[in-house]
Structure 1
Amino acid sequence: MFYGKRTVILALPLVFLSYSCASIPKRTISVRESIILNAEALIGTPYKYGGNDRNGFDCSGLVYYLYEKEGITLPRSTEKLLMIGNKISLRRLKKGDLIFFKGDKETLHVGIYAGNRTFIHASLKGVVKEEINDYWKNKIITIKRIL
């Protein structure tokens, strides 16, 4: 079979195009980013004591659910979560870090840092995103990094 100059000229751009398309890297997101995106998708989910699914969450159930989605199994209770991870300062916060707060009486509360001085947590109003303002800063017990 005879291939002329015209066939070769038409085939060359296709070869270059297919090579260049195959080499474009896909944008991947970090585990931290994925946790926050999944948490943001849950905003508005109702509060449910002992809840750890889309029907309702308590604070530690939300943390458990979000990390479990990434293949990371954490303890289910706030008290046990407090015992793991590396302690960090407020100024070293990264997305996905766990912030522990004093609750009412002797209770503990936990939320996930979402970036830009905000955190996501399961409050009595449901899953919400809030600013870490003076009210919340004064309630911080510790911050832990799991990732």
Structure 2
Amino acid sequence: MRTGITTLATTGVLLGGTVATAPNADAGTLTIGQRALGVAQSKHGDPYRWGATGPSAFDCSGLTYYAFRRVGRPLPRTAQAQYNRVRHISYSQLRPGDLVFFHYGSYVYHVGIYAGHWEIWHAPHSGSYVKLERIWTRSVWFGRVS
């Protein structure tokens, strides 16, 4: 059996951005966000392409759009529209699988899926690829897909 996403989707429990196997856990016990996080993680290394929504290239909101659609929770296409749709939460409520929205004033310009430990899975910019990266600013808002 592959490690990583297969383990997470079938027998894992996500704990603060790391995967710990649990013999009695099943995919039904994972939250929608954790399942979407697993989808995003499985796209590691896929290239960034502006406007792309997968399955083999993504922009930032295209990755979140794709990941949540794959787990049965469709989101709007753009980061701003996604922010407008989700339930807004505080930092103290943040957990792996929630969305992290980067903003300048009231304008949302980027989105990623929280992995724990102040890191997100995202498709950052042209010339890059889907990857896990540390959040680089405090100008973020959080949202949860229910």
TM-score if structure 2 supplies the norm length?
0.72
Aligned residue runs from structure 1 range 127-142, under 5 A: 127-132=130-135, 135-137=136-138, 139-140=139-140, 142=141
Task: Spell out the pairing of 1:22-37 with structure 2 (5 A cutoff).
Answer: 27-29=25-27, 30=30, 31-37=32-38
Give the letter for the 2:49 counterpart.
Answer: K
Partner amino acid, structure 1, of 2:26: T
Q: What CA distance in whole angstroms lies between the structure 2 residues aligned with 1:92 and 1:51?
A: 30
Contact 2:100/2:142 (CA < 8 Å) preserved in 1?
A: yes
What is the correspondence of 1:65-144 to structure 2 with a 5 Å cutoff? Answer: 65-102=66-103, 108-124=109-125, 125-132=128-135, 135-137=136-138, 139-140=139-140, 142-144=141-143
Larger Rg: 1
The answer as to whether partners of 2:43 and 2:56 remain within 8 angstroms in 1 is no
RMSD after superposition: 1.9
The runs of 5 or more residues in structure 2 that have no matched partner are 1-22
CA distances 1:19-59 after superposition (whole Å, capped 9, x unpaired)? xxxxxx95313133322222111111100111011321001
Deviation for aligned residue 1:94:
1.2
- Of 61-70 and 115-124, more deviation after overlay is shown by 115-124
Deviation at 1:107, TM superposition (A): 6.1
Alignment coverage as a number of residue pairs: 117
Distance 1:64 1:58 in 2: 10
Runs (4 or more) in structure 1 with deviation over 4 Å come to none
* CA shift for structure 1 position 76: 0.8
Q: Which has the higher helix share?
A: 1
Q: Which amino acid aligns with 2:70?
A: K
Q: Contact 2:33–2:144 at 8 Å: present in 1 too? A: no
SS at match of 1:114: strand
Q: Distance in 2 between matches of 1:81 and 1:97?
A: 12
CA contact (8 A) 2:33 2:145 kept: no
State the one-letter code of the partner of 2:90.
S
Q: CA deviation at 1:122?
A: 0.7
Distance 1:63 1:120 in 2: 9
How has the CA–CA distance of structure 1 residues 130 and 107 changed in structure 2, closer, same or farther, with 3 Å as cutoff? same
Which sections of structure 1, spanning at least 5 residues, go unmatched? 1-24
